[in-house]
Amino acid sequence: MKHALLTLALLPLACASNAAAAPDAPSRPAAHADSCSAAGAVVFEIDHRVNPGAKLATSTVKVFASGAWTRDEIDGDGKAAARRTGCIAKPELKQLETTLSGATWKVETARMHCMAFSAEFTEYQVNGKLVFTQRLCSGLSLDANSRAKLDAAIATVDGELAKAP
């Protein structure tokens, strides 16, 4: 009992010393709320879509020129999930923009393709322009350079989404 009372008596002192040390501790930069708002130009967008009538989940990820990103999801029953948001650091955003600007977005058509069908497809937009629609067995693909750029951009966005709480 004596030790418990002593601990309770010393607790405010311990907290006060930690509070005093806080200004010296390295501070995390505040999330750039003003410069990272989900508004304005969309630099990159990934739309996971389905054919009309398909009761499957969809999602849209948008990366804004401010560095903000959003992810909106709708389940197969049409119910929206809570929007996820975050901010991409300026160097990563600049790298994403550079990567995307280096693509030619040339779509190639295969001479033969499979006949499988899926109601799901993905649309990729860069600076508000649809640059590629990826469908299972469509016979359409991007040139190697553009595919590499798109894959790098997707990896960047996926990495940012994974960091978010």
Structural domain includes residue 11: no
The two tokens of residue 77 are 């029953």
pLDDT tens sequence across 128-151: 999 999 999 999 999 999 999 999
Predicted model pTM:
0.76
Structural domain includes residue 13: no
Q: How many domains does the chain have?
A: 1
Structural domain includes residue 28: no
Give φ, ψ of 22 to 5 degrees.
Answer: -55, -40
At residue 28, does pLDDT exceed 80? no
**Res. 19 pLDDT band, cuts 50 70 90:** very low
CATH number at residue 67: 3.30.1560
**Res. 35 pLDDT band, cuts 50 70 90:** low
Cα dihedral 62, 63, 67, 71, rounded to 10, equals 40
Closest CA to 129 of 44, 58, 57: 44
Structural domain includes residue 12: no
| Residue 112 C-beta-side C-alpha neighbours within 13 Å | 1
Residue 102: domain span: 42-163
Structural domain includes residue 37: no
